[in-house]
Chain A
């Protein structure tokens, strides 16, 4: 027995070496090229019927959009947009500019009165009905406002809490009166929340009725089934008064992660994917996936930055902040991260691409890699290069720790690139990543970081940066609410950003926003890195006006899509 087993072991070792050898020679490049068309054949007749299966990267926590569990992008794209009526659509015109357009719920543009109080009158379309044929009424507006402004465990009361009353005396006319001016009023009765059906929910436990999916709908689709941890199935709403869906069924199938999603797409288990632009996704797209098309958009609701804690050493010193900005070669970084998608330029302002009309889009362009500048700034600040090549002042090395979401491979690689670049410039950078829940739940709010890499995602078309940079939004003990995690505090900035949020005149808002951007850049409160492009890939079998919408998501017009046999 013993001798025999040794023979076996030798054999197994040989087998193992064989595998090693095989691994050396078995690297084949994927063949075939993706059709790189960036727009689809929308004019072709869309066939009726069929089932479309779409890969979904994340399962939403719940479908109670108003509640604390409701803030999920995927939930919004897959279910909210398809079933909840909204006062305004956010649409892209032919020049690529996003703007609010009244939706088919309304008869037309609502009337806005600015004095004595802000007052908005919505005329509701006579055709607008829920899927049980009951009309959509002003009472639904009133109920929605009441729930958001006065309900418990609400995700975000912004805007709704500025409303004084909603008059529903005429069922087809909703008159909304504000107690405080709210410039971004078009995002209300829509946005992340939609309009809730008062005739179904009134007097009921809204959260309990909605959280696991609901059967009512005022959109083109009805949620047929939400099989938790597996899939969501949509079927057409027969009473929808707009374009009725061509497809019989849409299935969103949850995937464990981006790579699983790509494998499923390649194996044709799903026909559409909307992956995060992870490095490997970019590589795959660059290598080409046969029989597929893609859209890459850089004007998105997302942007990624090196967020800096302005209240923590060494970043309480503007010269150090600027030195870091001059030490980083953002262009090389963006080229590596997204070059394969055709995105070559770093983001030069702190805001999402869709708001560029409001912003000074080249505010940060002065920060290019310039080691001389780094030296001038730091030497002028009392730093000197030590024997290890790292600057130091008063015996303290110029060193900081960057924190990001653990497990996000793109960010982990970004950190390693930054670490190398900063080291070359004489600045030491350490990495300490945390799980997303901890990072956004406690680390950033409590200011337990020096610098962070993460993205901000816009959920409405609004230029407001006040949430992120107004001193009133700096989180404080004990509950640490407020999203000014960078602890930026600048009275001039506060005034400008307040104007952007509350002034009802577009030109005044734009001027203030541009000025604020320049101030952010001069003080280097945070360094924008990239616009975090959106990527949509679909099989050639999918026909119709497939395209991305930065706010409503890639599936906002899926009622116009079809699938060819």
Chain B
């Protein structure tokens, strides 16, 4: 098992390096780190900055020096705010993590519940309803749901908050915080729950039809025990793998949710940086997110290896 993990980890490093070089080159060739400075009415500023940043060197050299600094933890300084990019990323990551962790927990809970329920009650009216809704959930543009939710639950009914994660300048994790979480988490969950619950329902149906379940039933094991102990445990294996992959993608995938709900996480950091051509933030952002996706891919493989003993043989 350990060698398997190590092998996968080693394999990830060249992928990350190549990906980071390509992303770096892509960002550098798209944006001019000094374009913002033209707003300054002092012409010498631009040239001085070009020299300081080494923008006249070949791309490989620029990447080399970036990588050297990055490995030692220095991701550069934002050309927009003069702030350390790493501290901007940490701050944004903190907020995005809150959404992802809570969103993933809620989604997993609902998805498994709903999936198991509709598998067990296959072809009942609730099953129809749930499956129908999941079709709609998957087909709905997430930002559209978010906007309607703000209008209905935030403005008209006034039940929930929709600006940031806290009211005012509070940082407490209290009822107010929960009120802020509901709508963005719901927006995030709609698509995931729809997709995960369908996954869970399908694998649960597979499990319920499997021989070992039938054997267990024949031996007189009670129905609930069969469902929760035998079938569910096996049906969770594929779902957990998919979860890991989806969660990895979420780090860069919450742009719209964060934008609609004015949450200063990774997504808005990206948008701000993109609109302002903030090269150093964009480079670091892309590469960190790519690394996280690779990491969660790795998780998915490893979890799968642990949960399904057969894979270890291969």
**Chain A residues in the interface with B (C-beta under 8 A):** 1, 4-5, 7-9, 11-12, 15-16, 51, 53, 55, 61-62, 64, 67-69, 71, 152-158, 207, 211-212, 224-225, 227-231, 233, 249, 251, 253-256, 260, 263-264, 266-267, 269-270, 435-438, 440-442, 445, 479-481, 483
Tell me, rounded to whole Å, the shortest Cβ–Cβ distance linking A499 to chain B: 21
B163 near A4 with CB under 8 A, answer no
Other A-B contacts than A8-B127, A254-B264, A267-B158, 5 sampled, CB-CB below 8 A, are: A152-B48, A153-B49, A227-B171, A255-B163, A263-B154
Whether a CB of chain A sits under 8 angstroms from the CB of B302 is no
21 examples of A-B residue contacts, CB within 8 angstroms: A5-B131, A8-B127, A8-B132, A11-B132, A53-B168, A61-B276, A64-B82, A152-B48, A155-B41, A207-B82, A224-B169, A230-B169, A233-B168, A253-B163, A255-B163, A263-B150, A440-B39, A441-B35, A481-B38, A481-B46, A483-B41
Interface centre among B122, B166, B167 (most CB of A within 10 A): B167
B164 near A260 with CB under 8 A, answer no
A211 near B82 with CB under 8 A, answer yes
B83 near A263 with CB under 8 A, answer no
Given A156-B42, A442-B35, A228 and B150 touching (CB < 8 A)? Answer: no
Tell me, rounded to whole Å, the shortest Cβ–Cβ distance linking B235 to chain A: 15
B46 / chain A contacts, CB cutoff of 8 Å:
479, 481
Tell me, rounded to whole Å, the shortest Cβ–Cβ distance linking B229 to chain A: 24
A438 near B277 with CB under 8 A, answer yes
A231 near B42 with CB under 8 A, answer no
Tell me, rounded to whole Å, the shortest Cβ–Cβ distance linking A426 to chain B: 37
B36 near A156 with CB under 8 A, answer no
B38 / chain A contacts, CB cutoff of 8 Å:
440-442, 445, 479-481
Closest CB pairs A-B (n = 6):
A229-B264, A441-B35, A481-B43, A12-B132, A479-B43, A11-B132
Tell me, rounded to whole Å, the shortest Cβ–Cβ distance linking B273 to chain A: 10
Tell me, rounded to whole Å, the shortest Cβ–Cβ distance linking A187 to chain B: 14
When chains A and B are docked, how far (Å) is the Cα of A249 from the Cα of B128? 53
Tell me, rounded to whole Å, the shortest Cβ–Cβ distance linking B201 to chain A: 10
A229 near B269 with CB under 8 A, answer yes
When chains A and B are docked, how far (Å) is the Cα of A217 from the Cα of B155? 38
Specify the chain A residue showing the minimal Cβ separation from B49. Answer: A153
Whether a CB of chain A sits under 8 angstroms from the CB of B314 is no
Tell me, rounded to whole Å, the shortest Cβ–Cβ distance linking B220 to chain A: 27
B162 / chain A contacts, CB cutoff of 8 Å:
260, 263-264, 267, 269
A437 near B128 with CB under 8 A, answer no
Given A62-B82, A442-B35, A9 and B135 touching (CB < 8 A)? Answer: yes
B32 near A156 with CB under 8 A, answer no
Specify the chain B residue showing the minimal Cβ separation from A254. Answer: B262
A260 CB contact (under 8 Å) in B39, B43, B262: B262
When chains A and B are docked, how far (Å) is the Cα of A224 from the Cα of B35? 32
B81 near A260 with CB under 8 A, answer no
Given A256-B259, A269-B163, A11 and B41 touching (CB < 8 A)? Answer: no
B36 / chain A contacts, CB cutoff of 8 Å:
68, 437, 441
B129 / chain A contacts, CB cutoff of 8 Å:
11
B165 / chain A contacts, CB cutoff of 8 Å:
230
A229 near B277 with CB under 8 A, answer no
B128 near A61 with CB under 8 A, answer no
A481 near B41 with CB under 8 A, answer yes
A231 CB contact (under 8 Å) in B37, B150, B161, B169: B169
When chains A and B are docked, how far (Å) is the Cα of A68 from the Cα of B78? 12
A158 near B277 with CB under 8 A, answer no
When chains A and B are docked, how far (Å) is the Cα of A441 from the Cα of B88? 24
Within 8 A of A (CB), among B9-61: 32, 35-43, 45-49
A256 near B268 with CB under 8 A, answer yes
Given A8-B128, A263-B151, A269 and B277 touching (CB < 8 A)? Answer: no
Interface centre among A69, A158, A227 (most CB of B within 10 A): A69
B277 near A1 with CB under 8 A, answer no
When chains A and B are docked, how far (Å) is the Cα of A481 from the Cα of B43? 6
B161 near A269 with CB under 8 A, answer yes
Tell me, rounded to whole Å, the shortest Cβ–Cβ distance linking B76 to chain A: 15
B169 near A227 with CB under 8 A, answer yes
Within 8 A of A (CB), among B112-167: 122-123, 127-129, 131-133, 135-136, 150-151, 154-155, 158, 161-167
A230 near B264 with CB under 8 A, answer yes
Specify the chain A residue showing the minimal Cβ separation from B41. Answer: A156
Specify the chain A residue showing the minimal Cβ separation from B151. Answer: A263
When chains A and B are docked, how far (Å) is the Cα of A483 from the Cα of B165? 41
When chains A and B are docked, how far (Å) is the Cα of A46 from the Cα of B201? 62
Specify the chain B residue showing the minimal Cβ separation from A68. Answer: B40
B37 / chain A contacts, CB cutoff of 8 Å:
68
When chains A and B are docked, how far (Å) is the Cα of A230 from the Cα of B49? 29
Tell me, rounded to whole Å, the shortest Cβ–Cβ distance linking B250 to chain A: 18
Tell me, rounded to whole Å, the shortest Cβ–Cβ distance linking B207 to chain A: 14
A9 / chain B contacts, CB cutoff of 8 Å:
132, 135
Specify the chain B residue showing the minimal Cβ separation from A229. Answer: B264
A62 / chain B contacts, CB cutoff of 8 Å:
81-83
A267 near B155 with CB under 8 A, answer yes
Specify the chain A residue showing the minimal Cβ separation from B169. Answer: A233
B276 / chain A contacts, CB cutoff of 8 Å:
61, 437
B269 / chain A contacts, CB cutoff of 8 Å:
229
Tell me, rounded to whole Å, the shortest Cβ–Cβ distance linking B242 to chain A: 20
B275 near A435 with CB under 8 A, answer yes
A207 / chain B contacts, CB cutoff of 8 Å:
82
